[in-house]
Amino acid sequence: MARHSSSPSLWTRAQAGVLLVAVLVLSVPHQAESLPADAALPGTDASPAPAMQTMAAAPAARAQEADPQDVASFFPGIKGDLTKLTWAHAVNSRDLLAKSLNDSGIMMLEADVVLGTTPESPNQVPVMGHPPMNTSDLSLQEFLRSVVTHNTDNNATRKGVKLDFKSIGVYEKAIDSLKQNFAGVPDFPVWLNADILPGPVNSTNTPVDAARFLAKAKAEYPYLMLSLGWTTRWGKALGNETVPTAFAKYNEQTVKSMTDALDAAQITQPITYAVRAAFVANSLDELKMLLNETHQASGKATLTVWSSDETDIVNVAQLKNNILAIGKDRVFLDVGEELAKQLDLASSALSTCASVVTTLLACAMVLFRAL
């Protein structure tokens, strides 16, 4: 906008004013339903994303390019609808990695990282696998090398990766090894994921140490997406126990434990919250609050809804309602095929009426300032 050097007439200023007023008037009836403006703005030039601020410290050539960690711009085909991102799950072996890289329909590779051995490495190193596995035919290093090579050779079908770290030990080793073996910043999305706090339903799984996880990310990769979750007990883990709905949710205290941890670590990088589908269905107010209170991500934090297998009982109608209430521009959908089909989100509007209005408002303000 600022490129236009010719001075605009008063007439165009008046026109912009009329537009602004019209948008304001239109937006009033919807305000009550909306997330606060700073939570829904898709980043105007008034509030540069923290990722972009830290990019300035990266090699100068990169500063001019789009931020490769911005998933929506890395995959322009999804047109800002984060639920359209496609996933391969548990890409923890050579065979699955080869298949996933070769599948042009897949955008993100989700994979688990544990300490273990490979036929080539008798010493324990970060390898791809899910506990209780401690052997694999694919080390994390080899996994990443393959993705880098694929992305270099196949620009049209580049992939991003979400690495799910199963312990603080493997995470710290992995980050150190990444720093040594992959100079510079990744030019594709890399998400660092872990369950860092205890969550529903009274899960007794040990979380990954929150303070250490956040401190290391901030120190070594302050521009990468943090995918942060809570431990959960649902699906198979419930056995035949029935749980009252009041417990099957992310409650206020659970949500606050996360924002407290982020505040304590003074995190400024992009954040997505990994949330289990069954609980998302019962936690709309709490999750809205969580996104609103994530000041660290400049109001641009997102959710990534995941689910396990068919033993994950989910109230599909309520889940769909809540995803749409938060907006498809704020929710990644990493669930099984069957649940995705039931949700049938493709036919729904991108974002809530409220956030569309906020976006229009932001555009009008940018325009007004540029004139």
Ligand X SMILES: *[C@@H]1O[C@H](CO)[C@@H](O)[C@H](O)[C@H]1NC(C)=O
Q: Which residues bind ligand X (CB under 6 A)?
A: 36, 98-99, 102, 124, 132, 134, 155, 201-202, 239-240, 243, 247, 289, 292-293
Q: How far is the CB of 333 from ligand X (least distance, A)?
A: 22
Find the shortest distance in angstroms from Cβ 313 to ligand X.
14
- 86 vs 342 by CB, closer to ligand X: 86
Q: Which is nearer to ligand X, 224 or 291 (CB)?
A: 291
In whole angstroms, the minimum distance from the beta carbon of 302 to ligand X comes to 16
Residue 92 or 343 having the CB closest to ligand X: 92
Q: What is the closest distance, in whole angstroms, from the C-beta atom of residue 201 to ligand X in the complex?
A: 5
The nearest distance, CB 6 to ligand X, in angstroms, is: 30
Q: Which is nearer to ligand X, 247 or 368 (CB)?
A: 247
Cβ of residue 166: shortest distance to ligand X, in angstroms? 13
HEC readout, the chain:
CCCCCCCCCHHHHHHHHHHHHHHHHHHHHHHHHCCCHHHHCCCCCCCCCHHHHHHCCCCHHHHCCCCCCCHHHHCHHHCCCHHHCCEECCCCCHHHHHHHHCCCCCCEEEEEEEEEEECCEEEEEEEECCCCCCECCCEHHHHHHHHHHHHHHCHHHCCEEEEEECCHHHHHHHHHHHHHHCCCCCCCCEEEEEEEECCCCCCCCCCCCHHHHHHHHHHHCCCCEEEEEECCCCHHHHCCCCCCHHHCCCCHHHHHHHHHHHHHHCCCCCEEEEEEHHHHCCCHHHHHHHHHCCHHHCCCCEEEEECCCCCCCCCHHHHHHHHHHHCCCCEEEECCHHHHHHHCHHHCCCCCHHHHHHHHHHHHHHHHHHC
125 or 339: CB nearest ligand X = 125
The distance of closest approach from Cβ of residue 79 to ligand X in the complex, given in angstroms and rounded to an integer, is 13
CB nearer to ligand X: pick between 200 and 229 = 200
Q: Among residues 217 and 286, whose Cβ is nearest to ligand X?
A: 286
